[in-house]
Amino acid sequence: MRFVVAFVLALGAGCSFHVHNIDTTGGGGDDMAVGGDDMDNGNDLAGGGGTDDLAAAPGSDLAVGPDMMPPNLMLSHVPEHYLTDGTCDLTVTASIDTTNRKVDGADVPAGCVFAADMEGGTLAVAVLAAKSVTFNGTVTVSGSVPLVVVARTTIVVNGAVDAAATTTTPGPGGSGPAAGAGAGKPGAERGTGANTADSGGSGGCYGTVGGNGGAASYMGQTAPAPGKCNAYGDTLLASTVPAGSGGGNGSSEGCTGQQGGAGGGSIQLSAGASITVAAAGYIDVGGGGGGAGCLNGANAFDQGSGAGGGSGGAIFLESPSVTVTGGLWANGGSGGGGGSGTGTAGGAGNGATRSSTTGASGGTSGGAYGGAGGGGYALAAMPGDGAGFATGNMIANGGGGGGGAGRIVVRSRGAATITTANVSPGANTDQSIP
């Protein structure tokens, strides 16, 4: 709609001020007139197409496109300035190292920021900031502290972001064997020499408890199950995003090596516009498998019990728009199997699965006197206890318990789009972004 306004205000002899042809639609040149003699200077304030149009075309310095708009997000856990610190468009294809703060084996390019910081004054993290971030191929994330990725505009996961533990090596920020806020408990030994009984270590805890280690009994000696650890961390990870914990170590008098599986890593992705985990993409912070009950070559009747699996770690996604059609996995590793008095070591536990229906299978028993390891957590399978002594059997070396679940939190504006079959454990959602 176009309005024409004309008025004359007498200010003195021969002196007047004119306002005319005000175009609220922005349709033509020299609108918002201030006509040719009225300090217009040819500038079209309405952006309609005249010369020197202040609403400049995309790509010009005055354009206000998605890259120039202020991020519409209150950043969690780390300082707000990271949302605008990064000015590069970053594509990651191979690795991120949070200890040395390297991306694909090198320093970040100009315009990117990779800095050390703290969450809640207690948890050291590495913050990678850019204008946009894309993950292609398989990206392995490692290091001693959790990873926080902050993008002013978008984060896209087209491939794998692998921050899972591998046996005794934790994911970024995760804890090693028998360590962490939810460390599994170690197996116990009773007796000496050939007449010993060793219970298995229990699985690591985080979002859920891990499985118990198997009790053991042999030749009048009984080693009790160690008991379970406790879950930790709040359901929405409001103050910090800690990683997973290690499983409890197995027990033996005469051999070593049955260490608990390590805890999965911690990954936070925060974007001012949107996060997309594409159908072919996933983020994995699974726990490691527990060690096998060891073999004492000097004494065929003194083998070790299995160790507990590590717990899953943490995934925290926040953006006004979050779409997940790929996978988010924070499952637990399985426990190792106990050795047998027949002179056979147990089987090692397995690393966490990328599945919502099937947990990692437990390590195999070493034989008649060894207990199998408990399975690791998946959404449809709680972590299993290691097999142990029960009436009618004689398990000298119990199996390790399976590792518990990690935590997954998705913070968005309104409901996020999540394919739940590809998320384990189920995501806790927070729709608090205004």
Give the pLDDT confidence of 196-252 residue by residue, as tens digits: 899 999 999 999 999 999 999 988 889 999 999 999 999 999 999 999 999 999 998
Query: CA-CA distance, 242 to 181, in Å (whole number)?
Result: 9
Confidence (pLDDT) at 64? 43
> DSSP assignment of 197-238, as one string?
EEPPPPPP-SSSPPPPPPPEEETTEEE---------S-TT--
Confidence (pLDDT) at 256? 81
Are residues 47 and 63 in contact, defined by beta-carbon separation less than 8 angstroms? no
Closest CA to 172 of 51, 267, 241, 260: 267
Confidence (pLDDT) at 151? 98
How far is the CA of 264 from the CAs of 25, 204, 310, 361, in angstroms?
56, 10, 7, 17
**Counting beta carbons within 10 angstroms of the beta carbon of residue 277, is it exposed (0 to 12), middle (13 to 18) or buried (19 or more)?**
buried
pTM: 0.84
pLDDT surpassing 60 at residue 57: no
Query: CA-CA distance, 60 to 69, in Å (whole number)?
Result: 14
How far is the CA of 370 from the CAs of 163, 196, 231, 285, in angstroms?
32, 12, 28, 30
pLDDT surpassing 60 at residue 418: yes
SS3 421: helix
- 214 Cβ contact partners less than 8 Å away, ≥ 6 residues apart: 199, 200, 225, 305, 306, 338, 371, 374, 385, 386, 387, 388, 389, 395, 398, 399, 400, 401
Closest CA to 374 of 197, 250, 257, 285: 250
Confidence (pLDDT) at 303? 87
pLDDT surpassing 60 at residue 21: no
Residue 323, token pair as written in the block: 């779409």
pLDDT surpassing 60 at residue 145: yes
pLDDT surpassing 90 at residue 118: yes
Residue 379, token pair as written in the block: 């959404």
pLDDT surpassing 90 at residue 71: no
In percent, the amount of the chain with pLDDT more than 70 equals 82
Confidence (pLDDT) at 70? 57
Residue with tokens 């959602």: 429
How far is the CA of 125 from the CAs of 49, 91, 117, in angstroms?
49, 21, 5
How far is the CA of 385 from the CAs of 154, 262, 292, 370, in angstroms?
42, 18, 15, 14
Query: CA-CA distance, 130 to 203, in Å (whole number)?
Result: 38
Residue 124, token pair as written in the block: 């050291």
Are residues 262 and 287 in contact, defined by beta-carbon separation less than 8 angstroms? yes
Confidence (pLDDT) at 244? 98
Are residues 303 and 366 in contact, defined by beta-carbon separation less than 8 angstroms? yes
| pLDDT tens readout for residues 254-298 | 788 799 999 999 999 999 999 999 999 999 999 999 999 998 876
Confidence (pLDDT) at 420? 81
Query: CA-CA distance, 252 to 258, in Å (whole number)?
Result: 9
The domain ranges of the chain are 1-64, 73-434
pLDDT surpassing 90 at residue 362: yes
pLDDT surpassing 80 at residue 179: yes
| pLDDT tens readout for residues 381-396 | 999 999 998 866 789 9
pLDDT surpassing 80 at residue 56: no
Angle (CA) 328-109-412 rounded to 5° is: 30
Confidence (pLDDT) at 77? 97
pLDDT surpassing 60 at residue 409: yes
Confidence (pLDDT) at 67? 55
Strands 195-198 and 221-223: unpaired
Strands 113-119 and 123-130: antiparallel
Confidence (pLDDT) at 28? 40
Which 3-state string (H, E, C) describes 159-204? CEEECCCECCECCCCCCCCCCCCCCCCCCCEEEECCEEEECCCCCC
pLDDT surpassing 70 at residue 65: no
In 298-395, the DSSP E strands lie at: 314-318, 321-324, 327-329
Confidence (pLDDT) at 300? 66
